[in-house]
Amino acid sequence: MTWIWGIVLVFLAAAGVWDLRTKSVPLWWLFLGADLAAAVTAGRLAAGECSWVTVGLSLAPGILLLLLSFITRQGVGWGDGLAALAVGALLGPALLMELMTAALFMSAAISAVLLILHRARKNTRIPFLPMMASAAVFIVALHPPT
């Protein structure tokens, strides 16, 4: 599991930097992550390490983010949903939910600070992929993978 966390950290760190600097993430990077996640998932399924139910649960948050992106007309970016799909396939449902929860709390805290300091308004867009990357670092520091 250690090497998977390494992949997740590199994938999210690069995506987070792109998201911060350009407010977008190259599709080739997101598809590279998705292809790698699909290969790892196929290997796990073939080895009997996970079930189709687990795969579905791992992909559900990413699918929900993509649906939310469509409904809100990119209020939530497509890149957030695609990244969540890739990370969910790599980490599994439990670790993905831990990561997403931590990222949402970080996003809320930073948003609150920016609002209090009058650096943002209620409609200011805060990139989410850097929060996911920070949450991944936090989780690995909190309980290192074995």
Q: What is the residue extent of each domain of the chain?
A: 2-142
Tokens of 69: 């992106």
**What is the enclosing helix (H) or strand (E) of 51?**
none
123, pLDDT greater than 90:
no
Among 33-42, 96-105, 107-116, 120-129, whose mean pLDDT is lowest?
120-129
Nearest CA to 101 out of 72, 146, 139 is that of 139
Q: How far is 98 from 92, CA to CA, in rounded Å?
A: 10
Reported as a single tens digit per residue, the pLDDT across 41-86 is 999 999 999 999 999 999 999 999 999 999 998 888 899 999 999 9
Angle of helix 78-91 relative to helix 52-71, nearest 10 degrees?
A: 170
Structure confidence at residue 1 (pLDDT): 65
> Is there a contact between 91 and 8 (Cβ–Cβ < 8 Å)?
yes
Structure confidence at residue 144 (pLDDT): 86
